[in-house]
Structure 1
C-alpha cells in the first residue's frame, strides 16, 4: 500500500503521521512545494496550478490514494485535482473539523489563516454545521509560516496573539490549517482558562487518514509491521525530510523509517 500526501510545506506531517500510526506498513510519498510557498496569499488560479504540479509529482510514484493535506489547496484546487486524477487515483481533501467541534454545544473558535478567516468557504461550513452554536473566527497571521520554519519565538507570538482574540468561554478550537496541528498542545495551553477543563482541539489529520483507507478499501492495522518506506519530494525533487520537520514529534516519527526504494 502506498499513500501520497501533498501540501505547500510541512503541514502534511500531521496527516502523514496519522497514516503511519494506523498503517505502519504503508509506504508514504510526501510532496510539497518549498520553492513556491506560502500558497495562502496566491490567487485561486495560482494555488490550483501549484497544487496540480505537486500532485503530479506525487502521482508519478503510483500511490493508491492522494491526501490533499492543505486547507488552502482543498478550498481552491480540489475540483481540478479530482478532474485530472480520479478515478484512477482517489483524492481526499481536508475540511476544517467544524461539525465534530460543535457536538459539545460550544462556544467554538476556528483558528485559520487570514485568507481563510471570513471566507465564503468557511462561512458556508459554519452555516451548514454550526446550527445555534456560537462560533468565533480567529485569524492567525504568521502562525503557519512560523511553524513551517520551526521559529519558536514567532510561534509563541502568533499563538499568543490568536489566543488573545479567542473568547474566554470557548470550549473547543478548530485547527483550520494543517500546520497548526503540529503545535496543538501549545495552542491548548494558550487558550486554557484557570478553573476550567482543557479546551478540546479538533484537527483533520485522523479523519483524512481514515478516509484515505476507506477510499481504497483498506482497514486500519496499527499493529502491522513497521515496514513502510518514505519518499520525500520538494517541488518535484527527491530529497530528504526537511530539517525543520524533525522539530516536531510527527516529523520524528516519519524520520524513524528507511527511505523507500
Structure 2
C-alpha cells in the first residue's frame, strides 16, 4: 500500500505519522510546497494552482490514495483536485473537527489561518455541526509559518496572541490548521485557565488517516515485519525531510523509514 500526503509544508506530518501508526508497512509519499509557503494569505485561485502542482508531483509516484493534509487547500482546492485526479486516485480532504468538539456542549474556539477563519466553508461547518453551541473563530496569523520553521520564539508569540483572543471559558479548541497539531501541547497550556476544567483539543490527523485507509481497503498490516518507505517531494523536487521536521516527534518517527527517490 502506498499513501501520498500533500500540504503547503510540514503540516502533513501529524497525518503521515497517524497513517504510519495504523499501517507501519505502508509506503508514504510526502509532497509539499516550501517555495510557496505560507498558503494562508494567498488567493483561492493561487492556492488551487499550487495545490494542483503539489498533488500532481505526488501522483507521479502512483499512490493508492492522496490525503490533502491541509485545511487551507481543502477549503479552496478540494473540488479542483478531485476533478483532476479522481476516480483514478481517491482524494481525501481534511475537515476541521468542529462536530466532535461541539458534541461536548461548548463553548468552542476554532484556531485557523486567516484564510480559513471566517470563510464560507468554515461558517457552513459551524452552522451544520455546531448547532446552538457558542463558537469563536480565532485567526492565528504567523503560527503556521513559525511552526514550519520550528521558530520557537515566533511560535510562542503567535500562540500567545491567539490565546489572548480565545474566551476564557472555552471547553474545546479545534485545531483548524494541520501545522497546529505539531504544537498541540503548547496551545493547550496557553488556553488552559486556572480553576477551569481541562480544555480538550480536537485535531483531524487520526480521523483523516483512518478515512484514507478505509477508502483503499487498508486494515491491519499485511506483514508485521515489513517497514514502509518514505519519499519526500519539496516543491516538485525529490528531497529529504526538512531539518525543521525533526524538531517534532512526528517528523522523527517518519525519519526512521527507508528513504526512496
TM-score, normalised via structure 2 length: 0.97
State the secondary structure of the residue aligned to 1:217: coil
Match of 1:123 in 2: 123
Match of 2:59 in 1: 59
Mapped pair 1:200 → 2:200: yes
Structure 1 unpaired stretches of 5+: none
CA contact (8 A) 1:15 1:209 kept: yes
Structure 2 unpaired stretches of 5+: none
Structure 1 pair 153–99 and aligned structure 2 pair: CA distance change class (3 A): same
Cα offsets for 1:154-182 (capped at 9, x unmatched): 00011011111111110000000000000
Structure 1 pair 197–9 and aligned structure 2 pair: CA distance change class (3 A): same
Matches of 1:223 and 1:184, distance apart in 2? 32
CA contact (8 A) 1:3 1:26 kept: yes
CA contact (8 A) 1:24 1:222 kept: no
CA contact (8 A) 1:25 1:226 kept: yes
Matches of 1:198 and 1:223, distance apart in 2? 40
Matches of 1:241 and 1:231, distance apart in 2? 9
Structure 1 pair 52–197 and aligned structure 2 pair: CA distance change class (3 A): same
Structure 1 pair 223–190 and aligned structure 2 pair: CA distance change class (3 A): farther
| TM-aligned CA deviation for residue 217 of structure 1 | 1.1
Structure 1 pair 88–109 and aligned structure 2 pair: CA distance change class (3 A): same
Match of 2:39 in 1: 39
CA contact (8 A) 2:96 2:204 kept: yes
Matches of 1:10 and 1:171, distance apart in 2? 28
Structure 1 pair 253–44 and aligned structure 2 pair: CA distance change class (3 A): same
Match of 2:25 in 1: 25
State the secondary structure of the residue aligned to 1:42: coil
Q: Which moved more, 1:244-253 or 1:214-223?
A: 214-223
Match of 1:140 in 2: 140
Matches of 1:246 and 1:5, distance apart in 2? 18
Matches of 1:106 and 1:224, distance apart in 2? 41
Cα offsets for 1:70-90 (capped at 9, x unmatched): 111111111111111111110
**RMSD of equivalent CA atoms:** 1.3
CA contact (8 A) 1:22 1:222 kept: no
Match of 1:214 in 2: 214
State the secondary structure of the residue aligned to 1:35: helix
Match of 2:5 in 1: 5
CA contact (8 A) 2:230 2:254 kept: yes
| TM-aligned CA deviation for residue 226 of structure 1 | 5.5
Count of residues paired in the alignment: 261
Matches of 1:225 and 1:23, distance apart in 2? 12
Cα offsets for 1:95-147 (capped at 9, x unmatched): 10000101110110000111211111111110010001100111111100100
Q: Which moved more, 1:11-20 or 1:213-222?
A: 213-222
